[in-house]
A and B are shown apart, each in its own frame.
Chain A
Amino acid sequence: MQIIYTDVLVIGGGLAGQRAAIGAKRRGHDVIVLSLVPAKRSHSAAAQGGMQASLGNCFGASGDNEDIHFADTVRGSDWGADQEVVRMFTHTAPKAIRELAAWGVPWNRVARGDREITVDGKKHIISEPDAAHGLITSRNFGGTQKWRACYVSDGTGHAMLYTMSNQAIAANIPVHERMEALALIHSDGRCHGAIVRNLATGELLAYVARATCMATGGFGRIYRVSTNAIINEGMGAAIALETGVATLGNMEAIQFHPTGIFPAGILVTEGCRGDGGLLLDGRQHRFMPDYEPEKKELASRDVVSRRMEEHIAAGHGAHSRFGEHLWLDIRLLGADHINNKLREVKEICQYFLGIDPVSELIPVRPAQHYSMGGVRTDHRGESPQLRGLFAAGEAACWDMHGFNRLGGNSVAETVVAGMIVGDAMADFCDSQAGKLILSTALVDEFGQKQQRLLAGIANGNGSESAFELTRLMQETMTANVGIFRHRDRLEQAVSTLQELQQRARNIGLRSAAPGANPELVTAYRLQRMLKLAQCVAYGALQRTESRGAHYRADFPRRDDLNWMRRTLATWPDDEAGLPTLDYEALDIMRMELPPGWRGYGARDYIEHPQTSARQQQIDGILGDIPDADRHARQQALMPFRHLLPEHLRNNNERQGEEP
């Protein structure tokens, strides 16, 4: 088996992986990126509507800053997020967007003068000042107090990914395409790289590295209906889990996006509603204000998706031969706006639905969209259990999203986390702990184990079909671990998944084609996906409360008293049918923003006694420094800048804000 040595191995060629790679390379380390597909085809390209960063340039963004972005994100997370990490993120997001602007992303810009906007179904004329002309503009998104989603039409992720990939090419970073990591090489709590399969030739290789970064995105494909690309099967998180050492955080926290086109599940952006689009029911009645008078269509995604499903269950859906759905109406935005700012949406509607959204309604229904959970890391992006293993972006549970992430915060997280983790990996490589000490015998051992596993599947002659079992897993997850969860159905899912796990040991392949062998790929990925699915289902069964996107019909209230904790899953015994769950407390006494009502959704929750204690403490601290500026007040409550790399600690300048 060929062994390739590098300082830093980045697994995943999307925005997070490539930004981390660029960061480590700039610090003088050799970096190799592995990618399942050509890097520019990564799922980051699918981000449509925008990237959250509090630049505060345009009309609706006026007065925005890190503090408001922080509060929106924590409320969005339903207080499940790590608030220090949220601070690191909101502080760095403006820097990330400005870096990308200099690197070449053609962000849409503010144009001076009057223009028409659509808010709450009505047209208004607003005026942009001269001073903001040419600066980066932004649009409204759900769960935010300001227009904060900076965008490039509705191809934001595409533009960002192309700029990022091109800069990685400029930095001479090799991307080894069509490569899939099958296992992490590790010993004594230290990661040494990965065993990798070449998806074009079927050959196995070893990549030995001082630091390894998981940037493999989410695992939406454990569900039948998902907006995710078909490569989003969570293999990065799964092989971290299979170390038996690294933990996965909050795997039950799964986001469903309100507007997947029906029935294909392809995403149309939240920007449709941010720009003024409405949700209508079967009678073409605008129903969201009935449920959510404050934020209407622009409550957070978990809330809107739940309200939509609730409305369908109450018999108000539109009927089609594929089942029931609702309508997204963007006709009121007008042809000009749709053709310029929502052109990908228009193309998707034309090609997949055969309709023109300028004059017709778009059939939509919530679809699985995002995995808040992933490889649990510390604030630097390193696994606390497996040194030398880092994670960034959707693959990680860093944990800035808690139980629900805001639209536009994930694409922002990819770049921000990439900036921070790239530096953290460089620091690690520079340190004594980052020295590479391992025997090639260990590499061989891990390689041979994968060789045996693959041969076992290829020669197993079992009776089960990998495609069929994959389909059953996906249907179980969509049916029983969806938006509305209940003990009975979760128990059903857990036992079905266990049964599928047994059956997956008896797979027989019909094809022995040399080279890629797509059937073999499906078979070995299935076994790993079943473990991830079980972490989701079993974690959801154990969490007897409702928080963010995790909604238990039998425990409908958020329970701060018992559940201010993050789920941690490990899978120490490969033969076991269930993960081992552990919990990590979130300390209210250290929070800058103690738990409360989100400003939308349910008002009813079980309070923790520390919440009022912490609030009193905060009032006292702030009362002592009445003249301090916002930065000093923040610093007094929850210092975070020391957690960032030094070059990211400065204040962000804004047009019109006093320094």
Chain B
Amino acid sequence: MNRIPLRPAARTLQIQVLRHNPHDPASEPHLQTFEVEEADTMTLFIALSEIRERQDPSLQFDFVCRAGICGSCGIIINGRPGLACRTLTKDLPDRITLAPLPAFELIGDLSVNTGKWMRGMSERLETWVHSRNLENLDIDTVEQAMEPELAEQLYELERCIECGCCVAACGTAQMRQDFVGAVGLNQITRFQLDPRDERTDAEFYELVGDESGVFGCMTLLGCEDMCPKELPLATQIAFLRRRMVCSG
């Protein structure tokens, strides 16, 4: 016990990357295979960095925290969306195929513009506490009390890191450009639960009470299955839908 598990013999990994540089008129999307000697505790972050440093310096991908908390490195790993930084190669077969997340604008190779998509979602769903008092807060006096369990429930929903895996895994999002995705619907439930947000159920309904929102979901459950933070996304959508029906 208390030892990092050992691997017997090093493998040579075949890492196949779907490549395309939209800024290069000559570029056509194609698969390129790189060979990498597997090392102990190697993650896809380490493997891809090594490819860029030693084999192809033009390879594009996004990593920031490399610790599974910032949501930058969502990619399709052997057909399933996931966070590349915390995916250990030892958990993958010898042949690994990597592709950019679908549904987002491609920047190049494995890099996609999740930031733009998420900002658009936030603006559209107004994912912030709406309160008349925010401009003239009294921050000298003791804060408003909140039930400890409620604070924990709110954090549970706020653990989302906007990585985009749920959108990439969503059938509706592939068909409807305007679908707000589980990430958006989860945020609605988060703010609806928050007593600091003064919006009414009817106002939330205005934001997501149609096919681009909560009624676009086909309950395929891809979002919840693929969420790296294991958020109860499908449950939240079901809850939201029931509440919308009641208020609608």
- Chain A residues within 8 Å of B, Cβ to Cβ: 26, 37-43, 45-46, 55, 94-99, 101-104, 106-111, 133-137, 152-153, 155, 158-159, 162-163, 165-167, 169-170, 175, 177-178, 200-202, 229-231, 263-264, 266-267, 320-322, 327, 340, 344, 347-348, 351-355, 360-361, 363, 467-468, 509-511, 513-519, 522, 650-655
Contacts and interface: CB of A to CB of B under 8 A. Distances in A.
Contact of B142 (A348, A519, A655): A655
Contacts of B115: 37-41, 177-178
Nearest to B141: A653
Contacts of B71: 40-41
A514 B21 contact: yes
B158 A162 contact: yes
Interface residues of B, number: 75
A109 B129 contact: no
B106 to A, nearest CB: 10
B134 interface: yes
Contact of B155 (A95, A159, A267, A320): A159
A177 B142 contact: no
Given A169-B123, A320-B3, A515-B24, A135 B145 contact: yes
Given A40-B162, A162-B158, A515-B21, A106 B151 contact: yes
Contacts of B236: none
Nearest to B5: A354
Interface string B56-95: 1111101111111111100000000000001010000000
* Of listed A42, A96, A230, A655, residue having the most chain B CB within 10 A: A230
Contact of B64 (A159, A229, A321): A229
B137 interface: yes
A101 B143 contact: yes
19 contacts: A43-B70, A102-B131, A102-B144, A102-B196, A104-B196, A109-B147, A165-B122, A178-B115, A200-B113, A230-B63, A231-B64, A266-B66, A322-B4, A351-B68, A352-B68, A467-B52, A468-B53, A518-B60, A650-B140
B225 interface: no
A231 B67 CA distance: 13
Given A41-B70, A102-B137, A152 B155 contact: yes
Contacts, number: 235
Contacts of B122: 165-166, 169
Interface of B: 1-6, 21-24, 40-41, 43, 52-54, 56-60, 62-72, 86, 88, 107-108, 111, 113-116, 118-119, 122-123, 126-129, 131, 133-135, 137, 139-148, 151-152, 154-155, 158-159, 161-162, 194, 196-197
Contacts of A97: 143
Given A41-B72, A108-B148, A170 B159 contact: no
B70 A45 contact: yes
A43 B64 contact: yes
Nearest to B133: A102
Given A43-B65, A98-B139, A178-B115, A515 B23 contact: yes
B25 to A, nearest CB: 9
